[in-house]
Amino acid sequence: MIAPVVIADRGVTVIGGGAVAKPDLLTALAIAPTLVAADGGADRALALGRRPDWVIGDLDSISSGAESMVPADRVVRVAEQDSTDFGKCLGRIAAPFVLAVGFTGLRVDHTLAALSLMARAPRPPVVMLSRDDVIFRAPSRTTLPLMPGTRVSLFPMGPARGVSTGLEWPIEGIEFDPAGRVGTSNMATGLVTLRIEGRMLVMLPRNALATVLTALRLPTG
């Protein structure tokens, strides 16, 4: 069991080295004010004008200049190579949830690794922000009050099935699988309810962040 090094009673923002706009980082920090950089995410945070509270990773991509900007006792080197830097962060955070930024937009392998980790590591719950999307792992039951016409994409990260209401194309009876049937570009007709068995990621438009946080009952105040 890994002992947490970052302990917070509110959400924690984790920033990676991928694409992230300053408004998205500021939005995340307004909700989850502790900032943890996954290795080279420290350079990204500093470039956006924010110094990380913590840096966690194997430290193979952070610049020496960025590392010198963070107190030495807040830089946690984890040498093992069996997990990604994002995974090293999640394993050392004790918080109600994590908002992840900077894990999309550049290297596809890093994005896929982060999404895979989200699917198999439900604690702490992770909500990922990208330029266009908000992404989360579907709990067994979810209710989402969405406007008609809102894009709802369901992407399985293993065999999965479910039951829905409020979707243009209901999912009941579909056997989802990442190597087979996926559920991209469905559409809300109003209030959406999902009952999911298996590992399923839900992808909604970026402006649905507040709706997602409420639906997942994550503390934001």
Residues 11 and 109 in one domain: yes
Q: What is the mean pLDDT of residues 99-123?
A: 90
d(CA 216, CA 207): 16
Residues 21 and 112 in one domain: yes
The domain spanning residue 72 has which CATH number? 3.40.50.10240
Point out the domain boundary residue: 82, 101, 131: 131
Residues 113 and 149 in one domain: no
Q: What angle do CA 141, 146, 148 make, to 5 degrees?
A: 130
Per the structure block, which two tokens stand in for 40? 């080279």
Residue 145 has pLDDT above 80, yes or no: yes
Residues 58 and 117 in one domain: yes
Confidence band for 62, pLDDT divided at 50, 70 and 90: very high
Per the structure block, which two tokens stand in for 71? 């107190």
Instruction: Tell me the pLDDT of the chain averaged across its residues.
Output: 95
Residue 125's pLDDT is: 93
Nearest CA-CA partner of 119 in 170, 160, 173: 160
Is pLDDT larger for residue 183 or for residue 82?
A: 183
Residues 146 and 115 in one domain: no
Residue 120's pLDDT is: 86
Residues 126 and 170 in one domain: no
d(CA 38, CA 14): 7
Over residues 25-55, the pLDDT tens digits come to: 999 999 999 999 999 999 999 999 999 999 9
Confidence band for 14, pLDDT divided at 50, 70 and 90: very high
Residue 67's pLDDT is: 96
Q: What is the mean pLDDT of residues 195-213?
A: 97
The model's pTM: 0.95
Point out the domain boundary residue: 79, 112, 131: 131
Residue 221 has pLDDT above 80, yes or no: no
Residue 82's pLDDT is: 86
Query: Helix, strand or coil for residue 127?
Result: strand
The domain spanning residue 162 has which CATH number? 2.60.120.320
Confidence band for 81, pLDDT divided at 50, 70 and 90: confident
Per the structure block, which two tokens stand in for 127? 């909500």
Count of domains forming the chain: 2
Over residues 104-114, the pLDDT tens digits come to: 988 899 899 99
Residues 115 and 148 in one domain: no
d(CA 65, CA 81): 24
Cα distances (angstroms) measured from residue 9 to each of 6, 93, 94, 207: 10, 11, 8, 25
- How many angstroms separate the first and last alpha carbons of the chain? 30
- In contact, 208 and 150? CB cutoff 8 Å: yes
Residues 101 and 143 in one domain: no
Residue 80 has pLDDT above 90, yes or no: no
Point out the domain boundary residue: 101, 131, 161: 131
Residue 143 has pLDDT above 90, yes or no: yes
Q: Which domain holds residue 164?
A: 137-215
Residues 78 and 167 in one domain: no
Residue 156 has pLDDT above 90, yes or no: yes
The DSSP-derived string for 13-65 is EEE-SS---HHHHHHHHHHS-EEEEETTHHHHHHHTT---SEEEE--SSS-HH
d(CA 33, CA 214): 18
